[in-house]
Each structure stands twice: as C-alpha cells, then as structure tokens.
C-alpha cells in the first residue's frame, strides 16, 4: 500500500512533468531528450557556478611589486559593481516597469552599490604602499582609470547628453545634435596634455576602441535615459518625492562622492610631502579632471536648487 507521503510525491512529480511536457511541446521539443540529459549532466557546484578558478586567475600584474595585485583586484571589483549598476539602469530604462515601487527600489539599489564602492575606497587611498604605487604605476602607461567604458556608459544611460558636455561649452551646445555633444563630452577634455591641449595616448586608444560604440549609445539613450524615464513615467507619481530624493542621492554619490574619493586617493599618492605633484602617467591634469566643483557634472540638474548647483561639490 502506498503511503500518503509517497502519493504526494508521485502527484507532485506528475504535475511537474506535465508542466515540462507543455513547455517543451510549445517549443517543438521532445521532453525525453531533456530527461536523458539529466542522467549524464554533472552536478553544479560552487566553483563551477561562480567560475572561481577563472576569477582568481585573471590578475596579470606588470611588475613584481606586491601591492599591484591589490590595485588590480580592487579595480576589478569596481568594474563588477559597475556591471550591477548598469544592469539595474538597463531595467529601469526599459519600460513598462511594474510600477513606481519597483523604480524606487532599483534606484535605491544603485545607491547601495555606490555607497559600498565609496566606502571601500580606503583600500586604495590608505591600503596601498605609497612608494610601491608611485613605482609600479609607471608600468601601466598609457592605461588610465577614465578608460572604464562601463563608467562612461553609466553616465550616458543616466542623463541627457548636454549634462555631460564640458560645463563652459553647455550654453552654446544646447539644442545641438548628439554627435556634436559627444565631441565635447567632459572626459575627453580631462585626457589632454597639460600645456599643449593635445590628446594623450590613453584618449587616443580609448577613442579608437570605443568612440563609435559610445556615440551610438548616447544617441540610443537620448530619449530613454534614467532622467527621461523619470520625467515620462514617474515625475507625477504618488511616490515622486521619495523617487526624487533617491535620484538626488544617486546623482551626488556618482558625481561628487565617487569623484571625491578618487581625488583624495590621487592627492595622497601623487603629491609628495614637500607639495610637489607627481605627473599623471598620461600627462593629464588629474586635479582638474577629478574635482567635482570644476566639472559640475550633474545627472539631474532640474532636481537641485540654484544654490545647490552653484555649490556643487564645494563642501567635499
């Protein structure tokens, strides 16, 4: 006689198998092939699922200084955070959404990711041996942190193109075509040689690899970036005040908080005790490029008061 527990298992199994049959039949497939595959498939384990063997072997230092490994791993971690940020933005900017609650929750996720990144930056500012860094960084030329294409995508997918133009060019650039705005995007001006105004090698390489791609993304997101999504779907929502505050937090974390910890780390490692500044590997003006109050990049300027815009980054 079959026990009640065994009967329940049989019923559950039959129910699940019937759902699988319906799924594969709709796809024109035979369920038997998929069941046979299960007989031979290797069980999934932690290392296979997360590819830890690969993950732990993608550090390729250029020198023998021990702290270069720390430098590499931290930047790889940052890129993984950027991947999560982009993943959330891609969902946020692909309506229809499930509603304002989902939009708010995902913006709050963006803020958690950025807060963790900013909080962890003392690994770079305080955790690296200064003498080692000043030496092994010379082997990294012409690579530069501004070449993070994911970070450039976060900016492009978050705001209107005009807000990323060099601040002194914005009034004249208003209403311009996307291609023209891209030519004046602020981070290009940060990768020019001090004194000559020529593009440094890091910018030349970056443009060769990503210019067409990023210009295309700027055009693709001109009507569906995070700001445009908010304006079109959530600016009049009942939860607009909470959403607005979350977006303001995201704006400040991205354009003031993240830039400021970079600036502090650079100042710690690239300014000698006697006050002399160590030149950047690409010859760029890193002070000017990293200072929020100079760049005045805001994703959502409409969400800030005039006084807040005028004092952007000055208290950091």
**pLDDT at position 95:** 77
Residue 45 CA to residue 246 CA, distance in Å, equals 38
How confident is the model at residue 289, as a pLDDT?
Answer: 67
What share of the chain in percent tops pLDDT 70? 91
Distance in angstroms (rounded) separating the CA atoms of residues 45 and 74? 26
**Is the pLDDT assigned to residue 171 strictly greater than 70?**
yes
Q: What 8-state DSSP symbol labels residue 128?
A: S
Q: State the average pLDDT for the chain.
A: 89
- If residue 147 lies in a helix (H) or strand (E), which one and from where to where? none
With residue 233 as reference, give the H or E element that holds it: none
Instruction: Give residue for tokens 């969902």.
Output: 91
Does 190 have pLDDT greater than 80?
A: no
Q: Which of 293, 285, 286 is nearest to 316 (CA)?
A: 293
What would the two tokens of residue 262 be?
């970079």
Range with the lowest mean pLDDT among 56-60, 85-89, 279-283?
279-283
- In this prediction, what percent of the chain has a pLDDT beyond 90? 64
pLDDT over 60 at 8, yes or no: yes
Q: What is the per-residue pLDDT for 57?
A: 96
pLDDT at 293: 80
Residue 124 and residue 70: Cα distance in Å, rounded?
8
pLDDT for 279 equals 59
Q: Is the pLDDT of residue 281 over 70?
A: no
Position 278 scores a pLDDT of 60
Q: What is the pLDDT of residue 272?
A: 61
Residue 256 has pLDDT above 70, yes or no: yes
- Enumerate the CATH 1.20.58 domain ranges in the chain, comma separated: 69-310
Given a cut of 60, is residue 274 above it in pLDDT? no
**Helix, strand, or coil here: 24?**
helix
- Of the candidates 207, 188, 206, 186, which has an alpha carbon nearest to the alpha carbon of residue 198? 188
Are the C-beta atoms of residues 46 and 52 closer than 8 Å to each other?
Answer: yes
What is the structure's pLDDT at 188?
Answer: 87
Handedness of CA 201, 203, 207, 213 (dihedral sign): positive
C-alpha span between 224 and 206 (Å, rounded): 25
pLDDT at position 286, please?
Answer: 58
Q: Which fold has domain 69-310?
A: Methane Monooxygenase Hydroxylase; Chain G, domain 1 (1.20.58)
Q: Report the range of poorest mean pLDDT among 92-106, 134-148, 238-252, 281-295.
A: 281-295
Query: Band of the pLDDT at 222, cuts 50, 70, 90?
Result: very high
Give the list of residues 6+ apart from residue 247 with CB closer than 8 angstroms, or none.
107, 226, 230, 299, 300, 303
CA 149 to chain CA mean position, Å: 8
What is residue 282's predicted lDDT score, i.e. its pLDDT? 53
Provide the pLDDT for residue 287.
63
How far apart, in whole angstroms, are the C-alpha atoms of residue 207 and residue 189? Answer: 13
Query: Is 231:160 a contact under the CB 8 Å cutoff?
Result: no
Closest CA to 82 of 148, 38, 146, 24: 148
Query: Is the confidence at residue 248, as pLDDT, over 90?
Result: yes
Angle at 263 between CA 262 and CA 265, to 5 degrees: 65
pLDDT at residue 294, as a whole number: 81
- Cα–Cα dist 287/183, whole Å: 22
pLDDT of residue 273: 60
| Helical (H) or strand (E) element with 282 | none
Which tops the pLDDT comparison, 64 or 277? 64
Side-chain-side CA neighbours of 173 within 13 Å: the count stands at 21
Which helix (H) or strand (E) element contains residue 201? helix 201-220
**pLDDT score of 143:** 85
| 71/282: higher pLDDT | 71
């Amino acid at each position: 006689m079959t026990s009640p527990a065994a009967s329940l298992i049989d019923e559950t199994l039959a129910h699940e198998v019937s759902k699988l049959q319906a799924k594969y039949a709709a796809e024109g497939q035979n369920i038997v092939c998929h069941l046979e595959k299960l007989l031979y498939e290797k069980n999934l384990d932690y290392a296979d699922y997360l590819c830890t063997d690969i993950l732990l072997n993608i550090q390729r230092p250029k020198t023998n200084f021990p702290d270069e490994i720390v430098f590499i791993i931290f930047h790889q971690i940052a890129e993984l955070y950027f991947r999560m940020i982009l993943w959330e933005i891609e969902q946020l900017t692909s309506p229809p959404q499930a509603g304002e609650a989902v939009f708010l929750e995902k913006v709050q996720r963006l803020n958690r990711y950025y807060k963790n990144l900013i909080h962890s930056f003392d690994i770079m500012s305080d955790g690296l041996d200064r003498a080692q860094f000043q030496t092994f960084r010379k082997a990294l030329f012409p690579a530069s942190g501004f070449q993070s294409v994911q970070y450039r995508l976060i900016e492009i997918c978050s705001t209107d193109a005009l807000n990323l133009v060099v601040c002194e060019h914005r009034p004249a650039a208003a209403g311009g075509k996307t291609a023209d705005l891209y030519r004046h995007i602020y981070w290009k001006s940060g990768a020019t040689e001090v004194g000559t105004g020529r593009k440094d090698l890091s910018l030349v390489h970056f443009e060769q690899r990503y210019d067409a791609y990023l210009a295309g993304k700027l055009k693709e997101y001109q009507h569906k970036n995070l700001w445009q999504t908010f304006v079109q779907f959530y600016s009049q929502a009942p939860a607009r005040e909470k959403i607005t505050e979350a977006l303001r937090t995201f704006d400040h974390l991205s354009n003031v908080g993240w830039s400021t910890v970079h600036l502090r780390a650079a100042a710690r490692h690239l300014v000698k005790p006697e006050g002399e500044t160590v030149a950047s590997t690409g010859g760029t003006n890193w002070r000017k490029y990293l200072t929020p109050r100079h760049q005045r990049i805001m994703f959502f300027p409409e969400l800030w008061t005039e006084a807040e815009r005028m004092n952007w980054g000055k208290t950091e």
